[in-house]
Structure 1
Amino acid sequence: MRAVEPEVEIKFRSDVDVELVKAAASDVDVLWAARVSTKGESSLSEVEADPERSKGLINYLMRDRHGTPFEHSTMTFYVSAPIFVFREFMRHRTFSYNEESGRYRQLVPVFYVPGPERKLVQEGKPGKYHFTDGTPEQHKLVSEATRESYRQSYRAYLEMLEAGVAREVARTVLPVGLYSSMYATCNARALMNFLSLRVRREDSAFPSFPQREIEMVAEKMEELWAGLMPLTHAAFEANGRVCP
């Protein structure tokens, strides 16, 4: 019989983790890439000589949607979030992903339970709806029902492992509220496309309506990116948060 790792206490969370693992991304990357088309190779001193001109060039590229200069950067994020968030995430095929595998390791029992601030009730028609808080009774039901479901599913998972069932088969009973982790790598243009769809902002030229849990991830990624490329981020916001 296959040896099983010791049972771990089930944990419940309502947040997500996002870390910037490594990056080669700055506003200078955009400027170099843009200027090579008219001036050939540029030096760092040329870029820094006139900051306002550099700011204006980035804004022009963003406004007129000259997108390729924003592709000459790379950022790798570590993300820990519920599996259902990753299923939405992977629709963005301009990212590269590597996710932890339930075939090769025993999955840790950490599960997502919506916090008290999570709006629960959807009102209105598809494409024109909004969410409201929900009643205390609804929040109580969600909290109790999800926790009990998680306990039952993880208990069944362990029973199968203890019986010698392969991890890749035993994992089928686990819900999408289970936390997973992955590395996600992208360039600035791909990230802007992601943010334009996964962060709801009233001042966006094309408002989007993301699920709150993936929006939580996107907000943290945007904060980290803004620190790396402040001029590009400012131009993105000034031009309606439209990916160039």
Structure 2
Amino acid sequence: MPLSSEQQAEIEQQRSVSTQTLRATAPGMEKHLYTAYPVLDHGFIRVVDYMGDDAAICQAARVSYGKGTKSVQNDEGLIRYLMRHWHSTPFEMCEIKLHVKLPVFVARQWIRHRTANVNEYSARYSILDREFYIPAPDHLAAQSVVNNQGRGEALSGEEAQRVLRYLTEDSMRAYDHYEEMISQDGQQGLARELARMNLPANVYTQWYWKVDLHNLLHFLRLRADAHAQYEIRVYADEICKVVADWVPFAFKAFEDYRMGGATLSATALEVVRRMLKGEEVTQETSGMSKGEWREFEGLLG
């Protein structure tokens, strides 16, 4: 279970208390505030704070005194213009702070996005829980034969069972030794900051992650992509649901121009022009490498 009954009760208590405020609020985000949404087998994401909304983006772009809203249509059009022309500063006016519980190996991918403020659970000070990410059988896959950092077909039968047994047994054995090393039952005990190095990369950690909307959308463009590793993609997918309710105009523009759109090189754009004129273009006549041509064909479907 991602949350204990005590933790769930604490969240419900937080959600039961409201205060009057003059600050701008987003109704779509208010319904998500503090709620923990399960991810993987023991993880979750939850919003603990936020600032701004669609109107805040327009306010910053227009540098206006009020909310910045001329009309709903004008605001949506402005946001789409900003997104279409890669303006970033107005989107930086919105911020979100998330509480995330995730496996360490996912955290090491996540932390590569260096444009956020992070405070992680300290295994020097506290003892980590006996919680490990063990993939569901349908997510146990062999190495891809065409992509050095991707997955191929799912493992099956005895091989899948063997891998699951290794993952579970090795995780439990490592944690048993971790507990024994820091034991205080008549022993001096190894320092927690040293004992933690024996734990596997699938042990769960937690952090607070605060980021502005511009950098969050960059994170989501990469990590909610179909090519991203499944274990981080499911976190990004869950965050997308929250962002869609928080800043619906901005998220719709993001879906259209970033997630659903594509950037073409000058060479690829010239190939499109030639195709529109009725010319049959092949990889050999395109001026592209085999890899570029394969990606180009993928974009065109």
Give the alignment of 1:102-117 within 5 angstroms: 102-117=123-138
Q: CA RMSD in A?
A: 1.9
In structure 2, the residue corresponding to 1:117 is in which secondary structure?
helix
**Contact 1:110/1:178, CA 8 A, preserved across alignment:** yes
In structure 1, the residue corresponding to 2:144 is in which secondary structure?
strand
* Number of residue pairs the alignment of both structures matches: 218
Who is 1:20 aligned against? Answer: 47
Q: What TM-score do you get using the length of structure 1 for normalisation?
A: 0.84
Who is 1:8 aligned against? Answer: none
Between the aligned partners of 1:102 and 1:130, the Cα distance in structure 2 is 31
**Contact 1:16/1:216, CA 8 A, preserved across alignment:** no
**Could you tell me which of 193, 206, 219 is aligned with 1:194?**
219
**Could you tell me which of 73, 90, 106 is aligned with 2:94?**
73
Between the aligned partners of 1:131 and 1:52, the Cα distance in structure 2 is 45
Between the aligned partners of 2:130 and 2:121, the Cα distance in structure 1 is 14
Between the aligned partners of 1:238 and 1:42, the Cα distance in structure 2 is 30
Whose Rg is larger?
Answer: 2
Who is 1:29 aligned against? Answer: 56
Higher share in strand: 1
Between the aligned partners of 2:116 and 2:150, the Cα distance in structure 1 is 29
**Contact 1:119/1:131, CA 8 A, preserved across alignment:** no
Any unmatched runs of 5+ in structure 2?
Answer: 1-39, 262-301
Who is 2:158 aligned against? Answer: 137
Mapped pair 1:43 → 2:66:
yes
Who is 1:167 aligned against? Answer: 192
Who is 1:94 aligned against? Answer: 115
Between the aligned partners of 1:128 and 1:150, the Cα distance in structure 2 is 24
In structure 1, the residue corresponding to 2:206 is in which secondary structure?
strand
Q: Which of the pair has the greater relative contact order for Cα pairs under 8 Å at 6+ separation? A: 1
**Contact 1:25/1:73, CA 8 A, preserved across alignment:** yes
In structure 2, the residue corresponding to 1:18 is in which secondary structure?
strand
**Contact 1:35/1:42, CA 8 A, preserved across alignment:** no
**Contact 2:224/2:237, CA 8 A, preserved across alignment:** yes
Percent identical: 32
Between the aligned partners of 1:142 and 1:108, the Cα distance in structure 2 is 23
Any unmatched runs of 5+ in structure 1?
Answer: 1-12, 202-208
Who is 1:179 aligned against? Answer: 204
Q: What TM-score do you get using the length of structure 2 for normalisation?
A: 0.68
Mapped pair 1:234 → 2:252:
yes
